[in-house]
Amino acid sequence: MTKPTDKALTAADEDALTRALAVSRSESASRRKQIDAMLADDTRTWQSVSVFAAFCAQSRSLNLMPWQLPPYCAGLRDLDQPPGDVSGRRESAELKQRLIDAGLSIFEPDPLAALARVEAEQRQGAR
């Protein structure tokens, strides 16, 4: 299985991950300290720390329960799962697919806000 940190990042991914770091660092003093310590750790890459920050940011912005995965972790095969399951796997996969279809990074710190922004831009362009 390929981890998100095993693939090359697009410019959109790098931008989203940079924003995820900023959002997560601003969450609280303890989160900022945690992320700063992770970034200072020679055994961790910027990419792995920023993916952790995306996990935190997406979980927070979507109000996910601890057992639910944020969209970037979802497998598109989960689109076959039944809707409404407590794990939220299908819903997470649907959101991931919407991000992909909109040309956004799967690491968007606030996926719903990013999608709303794109949809608003599309409506403006249609006028």
Nearest to 3 by CA among 67, 53, 48, 70: 48
List pLDDT tens digits, range 5-45.
556 899 999 999 999 999 999 999 999 999 999 999 999 99
- 54-108 per-position pLDDT tens digit: 999 999 999 999 999 999 999 999 999 889 888 899 999 999 999 999 999 999 9
pLDDT at 2: 39
Global pTM? 0.88
pLDDT of 35 reads 97
**Distance from first CA to last CA of the chain, Å, rounded?**
44
How many Å apart are CA 103 and CA 16, to the nearest integer? Answer: 12
Which sequence spans correspond to the domains of the chain?
A: 10-126
Residue of 121, 15, 45 lying closest to 23 (CA atoms): 15
3-class secondary structure, 9? coil
